[in-house]
DNA sequence: GCATTGACGAAGG
DNA sequence: CCCTTCGCCAATG
């Protein structure tokens, strides 16, 4: 009987537990990503900055690693790196899934990179913390 | 308990 | 301008 004090106890299961505010970080990441408007994209660093951990954009990506386990499903395809490149496409069900989802959102993808990324960019710090 | 890795990012050469 | 290195924090080996 393990107490759920552990965050991600193994990669196979994510804690839906927002109870552990220590890990609200994960929940916050998912929450922010779900709030990304259709046709818009954001970067890990932007989310990290919004959460206050801008120095650790990697943690955002790491949190996203469990996004597949989280419900409702997190539109991770709207989250790309600062370069606008679909770095996480390899983590999807299929590598093409990510760009297809983006195209369905109205986001053009070229060479694994979001077209007009700067224009499509949606910064939670600028939008949510407005 | 230390070393390596990771869906990043900024800085240095 | 392109490539390499460091930093960050957490998880895994």
Per-residue pLDDT tens digits for A32-43: 999 999 999 999
| Euclidean distance between CA atoms A125 and A130, whole angstroms | 7
* Pairing of β A79-80 and β A42-43: parallel
Cβ of A62 near strand B (under 7 Å)? The reply is yes
Record the tokens describing residue A120, joined without a space.
């499509």
Mean pLDDT of A11-31: 56
Whole-model pTM: value is 0.82
Q: Helix (H, G, I), strand (E, B), or coil: what is residue A54?
A: helix
Cβ of A17 near strand B (under 7 Å)? The reply is no
pLDDT score, position A53 = 85
Query: Looking at the predicted structure, is the pLDDT value of residue A113 above 90?
Result: yes
pLDDT score, position A100 = 95
Query: Looking at the predicted structure, is the pLDDT value of residue A24 above 50?
Result: yes
pLDDT score, position A88 = 93
Residues 64-93 of A with CB under 7 A from strand B: 64-65, 67-68, 76, 79, 81-83, 87-88, 90-92
pLDDT score, position A17 = 35
pLDDT score, position A52 = 85
Nearest-CA residue relative to C1' of B7: A88
* Pairing of β A113-114 and β A109-110: antiparallel
| Euclidean distance between CA atoms A130 and A128, whole angstroms | 5
From the centroid of its chain, how far is CA A31? 9
Q: What letter would DSSP give residue A121?
A: B
Query: Looking at the predicted structure, is the pLDDT value of residue A11 above 50?
Result: no
Nearest-CA residue relative to C1' of C8: A56
Percent over 90 (pLDDT), chain A: 65
């Amino acid at each position: 009987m393990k107490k759920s004090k552990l965050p991600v106890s193994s990669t196979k299961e994510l804690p839906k537990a927002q109870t552990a505010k220590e890990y609200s970080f994960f929940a916050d990441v998912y929450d922010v990503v779900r709030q990304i408007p259709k046709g818009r994209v954001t970067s890990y660093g932007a989310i990290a900055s919004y959460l206050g951990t801008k120095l650790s954009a990697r943690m955002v990506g790491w949190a996203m690693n469990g996004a597949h386990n989280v419900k409702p499903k997190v539109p991770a395809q709207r989250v790309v790196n600062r370069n606008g490149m679909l770095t996480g496409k390899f983590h999807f069900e299929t590598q093409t899934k990510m760009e297809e989802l983006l195209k369905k959102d109205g986001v053009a993808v070229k060479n694994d990179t979001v077209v007009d990324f700067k224009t499509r960019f949606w910064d939670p710090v600028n939008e949510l913390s407005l």
